[in-house]
Chain A
Amino acid sequence: MSTSRPDVLHLQSDIAYSLPIGHMPDAGGHFGRFGGRFAAETLMRPLKEIEDAFFEAWNDPAFHAERLDLLKNYVGRATPLYHARRLSEENGGARIWLKREDLNHTGAHKINNTIGQGLLARRMGKKKVLAETGAGQHGVATATVAALFGMQCDIYMGREDVERQMPNVLRMRLLGANVIPVDSGTATLKDAVNEALRNWVASCEDTFYIFGTAAGPHPFPLMVRQFHTVIGQEARAQIIEQAGRLPDAVVACVGGGSNAMGMLHPFRDDEVRLVAVEAAGHGLDSGEHAASLAAGKPGILHGNLTYLLEDDEGQIQGTHSISAGLDYPGVGPELAFMLEEGRLQLDAATDDEALQALQLLTRTEGIIPALESSHALAAGLRIARDMNPDQIVVINLSGRGDKDMNTVFRHLGWMEDAS
């Protein structure tokens, strides 16, 4: 067997996973003026150690062999690319395909990244992992990998999210993770990140921080993107196989940007519209939303320079979205860069639009999407309506909706409003 790294690996015969890293940031992790490593001194060495370990692992065929084997036989990849005919017909306009990340083990795309980082943690000899979580999907995916690899696991979660995502909290506990509610600040995802960083500072000798989104200090934005590009690589091969050509538009929702980078990045050098959909909450004019790219400005938070929702003096603002997974005041630095470069088309969907899209997909196709993914769906449907039936829109269905049923039932008036 050759010791040099192959450029592609196969998980099944018809999909070749390309391994060379395209669109690299500079050596300091900057994507243009965004990104970087704005971290406290105590974190600089552990971050460098992760960076070195990541590049070393990425160049090792054995690492990818194990990673792809787990993605196939444990996660269930490749996920299908599904032509939603009834949805397309009901909606009108372009033909719609759905990338079924909701069919992954644990119910969302998040596990692509936690398998990768979990393998890296084991490779670095770490005995424990910690992570932040918002909706709980990344927390569940981290707890799952910790169980699989026999590692201790601490999950930091804002108190408000603990209360609105209780099924995921209980799943994490069942998986053996220690869920630590965070009361500081707004008691949501950004505060969970703060608390996870604080605890990693004190424990980094034996603990790996499995960061959940394509943001944070270098190398997290690059590494999380790379572990998720399986999504877009598969979708690209699958649409060519099924439709005989590339799509006209690819659509993904954006909180921090993990599923968006994984889906959109492999299409970056194609003539394809790349659409990122932010959470418009009660509307972009209401002030109650989580649309950092649309309504924010550049700033420094959680180790990177990126678009943030903040007041005039740089204090980070509270956000609102019906979906806890999009409820974050920042966004991955590469998305900020792609937007300023003109390579990204920005869109947004409100709480109500997401709820309507969720119901439409459920009734026409029998697929219940996560509220996060329902934002991509709402915008994707709108974009498709302005196109003709010869055209193709691919929407990333990043997760399944089981975790959101209580929220949805309350909004439909089928359950008492607990809040």
Chain B
Amino acid sequence: MLRFATTRLISLTLSLLAASIVIFAVIEVIPGDPASFMLGLNAEPDTVAALRDQLGLGGSVVTRYLNWVGGMLTGDFGTSYTYRVPVTELILARVWVSLPLAIFALILSTAIAFPVGLIAASYRGKVADLGIMSVTQLGIAVPNFWFAMILVLIFAIKIRWFSAGGFPGWDQGVFVAMKSLTLPAIALALPQASILARIMRSSVLDTLDQDYIRTARAKGLTRSQSITRHALRNAMIPVLTIIGMQFSFLMAGAIIIENVFFLPGLGRLIFQGITQRDLVVVESVVMLLVFAVITVTFVVDIAYAAVDPRLRKRG
């Protein structure tokens, strides 16, 4: 198990290194010089050059790359060209919205999908199964921003349980903050839950066809005992994969939902960064997201090994 974790950790580090090189290279080659963008079309070349130096855009490619990576390792992501504040500050403020939102949505999606998928599998071909399958089909087909708008119409405008958007900040208390994240989290979670429930259903059904379920039944287990005691854990592997992918998506892909609910999250930050050629912000946030995705993959890998003893021996 320790060896498994170590080898995964090494591959995680290598992936991060490769990602940082790719991100840096892409930012290098895309057209649009932030200095001339900031100074406008009529700027003097001397002024542009001076600003480039000031922004740390001078020097060789290697030096700039090393400065960037070295900075990130010490928590210094540079200074935003447009906001003129340290990128670290910008990111920290947003992470405290995006990360809780992603975790909230993931917990909701898992909490919905597990029982729903299990019920569908247990009542395969019956009314409950067919009903669940049609509803989840709808859940996948309908875009989440439409859900978001419907939720706002019902819960914010009609019954006024929640506010229609905005984020009051954590200093207003956990309850108030979480309340403002609830509708966005539901909007994000419903399509994800639909996907996860279907995966859960087919994965459980696959395991129910396995020989060891027949062995369990021959031991005297009832059908539902054989599902909870034997099928469930074996069915977790594909489900874990999807959960990992969903978390990564929820971290970075919440941009539309953030816009619908006016949430100051990472998605909006990166969108603004791109439109304003704020390359320092873009590369830092992308790197951070890559880090999050790779870390989640690492956690999922470890979870695989915890679920399946056959994987523990592999390097």
Mutual binders A and B: no
Binding site for A on B (CB under 8 A): none
Binding site for B on A (CB under 8 A): none
